[in-house]
Amino acid sequence: MIDRDRIVQCFLDLVAIDSPSGDEDAIAVELERRLVALGLEVAQDAHGNVLGRLAGDGEPLILSAHMDTVEPGRGIRPAWDGPDIIRSDGTTILGADNKAGCAVVLEVIASVLEDGARHRPIEVAISRGEEIGLVGAANMDYSRLSAKVAIVIDSGGPPTSVQGESPYSFGYRVEVHGKSAHAGLEPEKGIPAITIAAEAVLGMPQGRIDFETTGNVGLITGGTVRNAVPDYCRVDGEMRSMEFEKVDTLVSQAKAHLSDVQGRHPGARIESSFSMGYPGYKLSDDDPAAQLLFGVLRGMGMEPDPHPVGGGTDGNVFRGHGIASVVIGRGGYNQHTKEEYLVIPEMLECARVVEACVRS
């Protein structure tokens, strides 16, 4: 049975181990140790994701969470706010995103092993680097996962809060190669990469394009000193849309714009690359992951509340690898802020729902 004291203690223990993205070694070792203690076959893949396996009956199911947190996430001092809420002390995040997800995975396994009743084979996939662009999921060793359905425990709110729709994300990089020259003595010999990059930037999608489509120029790098015509400038940006066609159109428009800019500056060389960061999805009724989770929720008297989110999770990457994934709420609020808090009864409810999925 899901045990409140045990899962809360596990959560607090995990929160005590700092794990901002890029600094996950200690938490990975601890997660591995706990999974081994529960009797799973566990190993880190080449990227350092923690992958584990527990035998069972029927179709295997992936339980997934990520082990990294955003900053400020070091020296977190969790504090009770009444009997059911845990907050940080206000100087850091709490890290319920996603230590609560990790705690749910561990508690569900502990619970299903206690009574010896039938459960599906469980494949645990705990990623690194989720918060810095789903890096762990992108580099996961999928040869070690056989399940075709995953429950990703990484949404805010109660377990009925399900990510129903998530955007397609494209990243791009534009590099302008110009020519350097002394800015005061012979500027006419130079080709100013920054100025040409500025023309490029002005035609790239920016802000909210429509209700389900966004664009952003996020990073610009170039030049060396004030008094030299810069010979290089680089721009990184992204576009997202719930509809693949819309983001695909934006990519085409951006490419056409860049070729216009190139036409106006034949002496410069503009290179660009566009790549899909992760695929989007809309949960449909015949999706196997949605069927599993929605069936379980309704069986427990809860109505699923699928809603669109503007960001991606490991579930997007899993879908790109043919694994139907749903992202379920685990009781966290105000994620990625120092006001982050965790509602314990909702984390417990999440664990009960995930356990029921494992037993279904």
Q: Give the interface with Zn ion as residue ranges (CB under 5 A).
A: 97-98, 154
Element (H or E) spanning 292, and its range? helix 288-299
Which residue's CB is nearer to Zn ion, number 156 or number 222? 156
- The least distance separating Zn ion from the CB of residue 109, rounded to whole angstroms, comes to 20
Active-site residue, selected from the candidate residues 24, 130, 154, 175: 130
Which residue's CB is nearer to Zn ion, number 165 or number 199? 165
- The least distance separating Zn ion from the CB of residue 70, rounded to whole angstroms, comes to 8
Active-site residue, selected from the candidate residues 24, 30, 32, 68: 68
- The least distance separating Zn ion from the CB of residue 98, rounded to whole angstroms, comes to 4
Which residue's CB is nearer to Zn ion, number 97 or number 355? 97
- The least distance separating Zn ion from the CB of residue 116, rounded to whole angstroms, comes to 33
Which residue's CB is nearer to Zn ion, number 97 or number 287? 97
Concerning whether 68 is annotated as a catalytic residue, the answer is yes
Which residue's CB is nearer to Zn ion, number 175 or number 346? 346
Concerning whether 355 is annotated as a catalytic residue, the answer is no
Which 8-state DSSP code applies to residue 70?
P
- The least distance separating Zn ion from the CB of residue 39, rounded to whole angstroms, comes to 27
Annotated active-site positions, please? Answer: 68, 130
